[in-house]
Structure 1
Amino acid sequence: MIGLDTIDKYTMKARVFPAAIALAPALALAVAYVSWDSFSLSDAYAAIASIVLLVVFADISRRHGKRLEKQLLKEWGGLPSTHMFRHADSRFDTPTKKRYLTFISQKMGEDPPSEEDEVNDLAACDAFYNRCVNWLRENTSDKERFSLLLEENINYGFRRNLLGLKGSALIVSLTVVLIAIGSLLFGMPIDASSSMSTQLALLVGFAGIHSAYFMMYVTDDAVSEAAELYARQLILSCEKHIASSPAR
């Protein structure tokens, strides 16, 4: 569970924002039910319940995102950053890749695999590349120095966690539509300051847009794109490490 003392930039953008987006129709419905002219105890309960629900969903977004990540890694065949280190991968030119691998290999005290090694035992080579990725992760924790990497990591976490909440978000939208229709049919008060039919149209329309967004834009491909951008920036962080290393 997220505590107030653990809120940072990553937590806010990659966990809380996806939760808020997934819950947006429900939060809008809660706002519609609150009487802002005469704020009562029941209105306070509704506001508190909304905040609690947001905190809970932020925690769920992380757990569902992590679970989803395991499935995606199986589909991708491993980390994009691992693939980028392979000799057969063309997303980095050969001299640049060789320079990066030579540098990290020296730091780890290992020899980088050759093209022939990849042909003979790709799994062993990928294990080495994974260690290179882990070394980079452990040595890029300075948020100011590696600010671009942090932004790409946040973007990836946001898309991954949002995709993890996709099913829940669609259920939220459907529930809001049903409640809105029920409010009209059975005379449940929504907000005395505006007509019931206007509130219904706004809530149903918003829920429809919300559902369309999740169906069209919250996809595996969106997460894959963010993962590749993060992986590329992680590998490019070698430039700063090499530049700051003493000349030999």
Structure 2
Amino acid sequence: MMFNKYNRYAKLFPALLTFIPALVLLLLSNNTEMMFIVNVIMRMTVGVAIVWFFAFINRLLGKAIFQTLFFKNENEMPTTNFLLPSDTTLSPSMKKAIRDKLKNDFNIDLPSARDEAKNIDKSRKQIIYAVSQMRNSTRGNELLLQHNYEYGFIRNLLGGSIVAFLVCIFNLYFFRNININTTGFNLSLGLGISYLLLLLLSKPLTEMLGRNYAKVLFEQYLHH
């Protein structure tokens, strides 16, 4: 299970990409103690543990910061917003089809316009529960899994980019003032800019992937 497709695609790959600045620091430092650390990492399986630690931190930060910040967890995810009566993203006919199928499959009623106006929080919770049933009924769908991998990859990469960017800042100071190394400085500068750009684009990236996932979920559920 550790190396299943989701763990590789959504956890391991972002961890490797955000581990690069730390690797640059270790490999390009002329400090004897640093080189000893590199040798230990390269020769022992602790290197794998470090990468998986990065994967854990990436996921923790991605969920705690970006998913909570942009989507209030599930309360404002596209899968929730699209099914609100006031939202016009989906066509009326598609909303009706989803409503009818949920009623038929699970005896779940989506909130009406009156329900939404009366209590928006309760309406969102009703939708979140309905969406969870849709997910359960389409579990294993390859198209949905692919979108889930993509969302997990970006969310975890963004979480790891926070740590990676901070390591790059340290590297710039280290290679400029403590252990002067032009290659290390330039690599850290380029990497730092890349992670910063990712962080600046975090909102449109997560929103785009969230919208895509929601539309595919509804389509696959209706054809399930």
* Shorter-chain TM-score tier: 0.7 to 0.9
* Greater than 4 Å deviation, 4+ residue runs: 31-34, 40-43
- Partner residue of 2:111 out of 86, 94, 113: 113
| Residues 1-248 of structure 1 aligned to structure 2 (within 5 Å) | 5-32=1-28, 44-47=39-42, 48=44, 49-68=46-65, 69-74=67-72, 78-142=76-140, 146-181=141-176, 182-184=178-180, 200-218=181-199, 219-241=202-224
Amino acid corresponding to residue 92 of structure 1 in structure 2: L
The structural deviation recorded for 1:99 is: 0.3
Return the alpha-carbon distance in structure 2 between the equivalents of residues 167 and 99 of structure 1.
42
Structure 2, unaligned stretches of length 5 or more? none
Query: TM-score normalised to the size of structure 1?
Result: 0.75
Give the Cα–Cα distance (whole angstroms) in 2 for the partners of residues 51 and 103 of structure 1: 46
**Structure 2: how far apart are the matches of 1:108 and 1:76?**
20
What letter matches 1:231 in structure 2?
A
**What CA deviation, in whole Å up to 9, does each residue of 1:12-35 have, x standing for no partner?**
12112222121112224444569x
How far the C-alpha of 1:134 sits from its partner, in A, is 0.4
How far 1:135 sits from its partner (Å)? 0.5
In 2, are the aligned partners of 1:14 and 1:161 still within 8 Å (CA)?
yes
CA distance in 2, matches of 1:139, 1:41: 52
Q: Structure 1 CA distance, aligned partners of 2:73 and 2:117? A: 21
Query: Do the aligned partners of residues 22 and 80 (structure 1) sit closer, same or farther apart at CA in structure 2, a change above 3 Å counting?
Result: same
User: How far apart, CA to CA, are the structure 1 residues paired with 2:36 and 2:160?
Assistant: 31
Task: State the Cα RMSD in Å.
Answer: 2.6
Cα distance, 1:63–1:43 mapped onto 2, change above 3 Å = closer
The TM-score, its normalising length taken from structure 2, stands at 0.82
Structure 1 spans left out of the alignment, 5+ residues: 35-39, 185-199, 242-248
Shift of 1:41: 8.1
CA distance in 1, matches of 2:56, 2:173: 26
CA contact 1:15–1:58 (8 Å) conserved in 2: yes
| Structure whose CA Rg is larger | 1
Q: Is the 8 A contact 1:104 1:132 kept in 2?
A: yes
Alpha carbons of structure 1 residues 90 and 177: separation in structure 2 relative to 1, 3 Å: same
Deviation at 1:160, TM superposition (A): 1.5
CA contact (8 A) 2:26 2:37 kept: no
